[in-house]
Copies of this chain bind each other. A is one copy, B any other.
Amino acid sequence: MKLLERLPRESSGEYALRIIKESIISLELPPGSQISESELAAEMGLSRTPVREALIELSKVKIVDIQPQKKSTIPLIDYEMVEESRFMRSLLECAVVELDCEMAAPADLDRLRENIRVQNLYLDDFYSTQLLTLDNEFHGMLFSIARKSQIFALMQNISIHFDRVRSMALSSVKNLKIVQDHVDLVDAIERRDPAAAKALMEKHLNRYRIDAAALRAEYPQYFK
């Protein structure tokens, strides 16, 4: 478990949630592994309480499996769950980019393009965590512009299933396509072309569907 720095004014609970979430996505807490409130708390230098709160939240979206009075584990990757997560994202994101075509102000487009510019800086970097973060921010902006931030927050939770698979799959070759998708998306929004924007988003999110089959062959121990 990699201990990141604690952000200013971040409560212990928020800190625990952030660290655990990152560790699951980065596979430092690998699928199938057993976890313990006490152990995690000790590693992070906290008490069980905030760690427990974090685990409870993660268990709500089945990214942590709490078996009362027995044990807690990081579930194996359940392809049905990944697909359910992808289905939900696809629906919501497509609807949101359509709204964006009506609602995006010039300043919004500037912010999106600035984000993409930074994405390009990290393109060749092996440390794709940065790129993942920027990607999340990009999609978050699309929701924010359409005044659907709360939905984005909710979706983030179930998307962890998705992100975990993504972090196994990301290669710099793919990254190139992904960033280009973002460019095309912003262009479509600027042209106020909802049909094109929706189609682009659908294609964009579909890039991850193909990966799963190959990954399953490569890391069979992580799959159900």
Contacts and interface: CB of A to CB of B under 8 A. Distances in A.
Interface stretch (A57-65, A124-132, A176-184, A193-201): A57-65
Contacts of A87: 95, 148, 151
B91 A150 contact: no
Copies in the complex: 2
Contact of A158 (B85, B91, B95, B151): B151
A11 B69 CA distance: 12
Interface residues on A, range: 20 to 34
Interface string A80-96: 11001101100110010
Contacts of A4: none
Contacts of A207: none
Interface of A: 11, 13, 53, 56-57, 60-62, 68, 80-81, 84-85, 87-88, 91-92, 95, 147-148, 150-151, 153-154, 157-158
